[in-house]
Structure 1
């Protein structure tokens, strides 16, 4: 059945957890591309045959016409499935650029194709460059805060630091009220946790 492999490729992505990646399926991806090549060859052969016979594509509806139509539609479907697979994976990789620095953890990196790794590096560098040009960290508050100050508990010994509006001694297990922008970097590093309630 035409399009089965392409369907499996898209289904593989949709069955994975939202925002998570499974390993790039090089084998199935290559099989779908081979299917596309076969459809192109068969389509060209049928179109050449119809042209040699002098049949008019608009008025003559024979087996060759419908065969060419089937190969064309299968080719279009396979291409759409390939594009959906690549596009949705690229969105996840792009979102990683907002949460992870320039170096990917090994467990994520081994799931990416070579082109996805290059895309991540390029996107991350562009994002970092843009933020440094603006002199602002756009990844700090992904959700607008209700209050600029939050209550945090220090999980690891950090020591004396100068924050935007005060200097503080961030000793282990200390509970403090800090500006969200000051605490966010330590929270993302796992050195602090926000206390709610």
Structure 2
């Protein structure tokens, strides 16, 4: 039956864990594209036949019209399933661009197709370029903070630094209240830790 293979691609997405990638199903994807090519060829043949016959034989004309409609609708459905498969995977790859640096872990990279790898590389480069133009790291804190100030402990001697709203001596083992934006870079480097509770 037409559309079964394309439906399997969509079911594969539905059965996978949300936000997680499974290996790109190259074989099934290629089979659906091959099926689409077959529908296009059959549709074109039926349209040529209808043009040649004209409007003389109404019974043959109706059968050809319904056949052409069936191939057209099957083609549209297959394309929609292919687009859903690619789009959902692209959304996950975009999310990876925000959470993973420019290099993908090997277990994730082997699940991507070559075009998805290229998309990730371009997306990451664009994000990095945009953030460097703004001189801000948009991926630091993806969850909005409840309080702009946090309590931190300095783990390594940093010295006197100019922060956004004050001059601070960041001596080892000092406990301070700092703006989250000022402390995040040191926390990411392992020179500070956030104290909770």
- What TM-score do you get using the length of structure 1 for normalisation? 0.82
List structure 1 segments (4+ residues) > 4 angstroms apart after TM superposition.
151-154, 174-178, 185-197
> Which secondary structure does the structure 2 equivalent of 1:160 belong to?
coil
CA deviation vs aligned residue, 1:83-103 (integer Å, no higher than 9, x gap):
111111111111111111111
Match of 2:170 in 1: 168
Deviation, 1:49, is 1.0
State the alpha-carbon separation in 2 of the partners of residues 38 and 192 from structure 1: 62
Q: How does 1:115-194 map to 2 (within 5 A)?
A: 115-151=115-151, 159-161=156-158, 164=163, 166-168=168-170, 178-185=178-185
Unaligned 5+ runs, structure 1: none
Cα distance, 1:130–1:54 mapped onto 2, change above 3 Å: same
> Which secondary structure does the structure 2 equivalent of 1:62 belong to?
helix
CA deviation vs aligned residue, 1:100-158 (integer Å, no higher than 9, x gap):
1111111111111111111111111111111111111111222221112334688xxx6
Q: How does 1:1-197 map to 2 (within 5 A)?
A: 1-55=1-55, 62-151=62-151, 159-161=156-158, 164=163, 166-168=168-170, 178-185=178-185, 196-197=196-197
Computing the radius of gyration from Cα coordinates, the structure with the larger value is 2
> Which secondary structure does the structure 2 equivalent of 1:147 belong to?
coil
> Which secondary structure does the structure 2 equivalent of 1:37 belong to?
helix
State the alpha-carbon separation in 1 of the partners of residues 89 and 47 from structure 2: 35
How many residues are paired up? 190
> Which secondary structure does the structure 2 equivalent of 1:159 belong to?
coil
State the alpha-carbon separation in 2 of the partners of residues 151 and 34 from structure 1: 60
> Which secondary structure does the structure 2 equivalent of 1:22 belong to?
coil
Bigger CA drift: 158-167 or 140-149?
A: 158-167
Deviation, 1:186, is 6.4
State the alpha-carbon separation in 2 of the partners of residues 106 and 192 from structure 1: 30
Considering only aligned residues, what root-mean-square deviation do their CA atoms show, in Å? Answer: 2.8
Contact 2:55–2:61 (Cα < 8 Å) also in 1:
no
State the alpha-carbon separation in 2 of the partners of residues 194 and 142 from structure 1: 16
Unaligned 5+ runs, structure 2: none
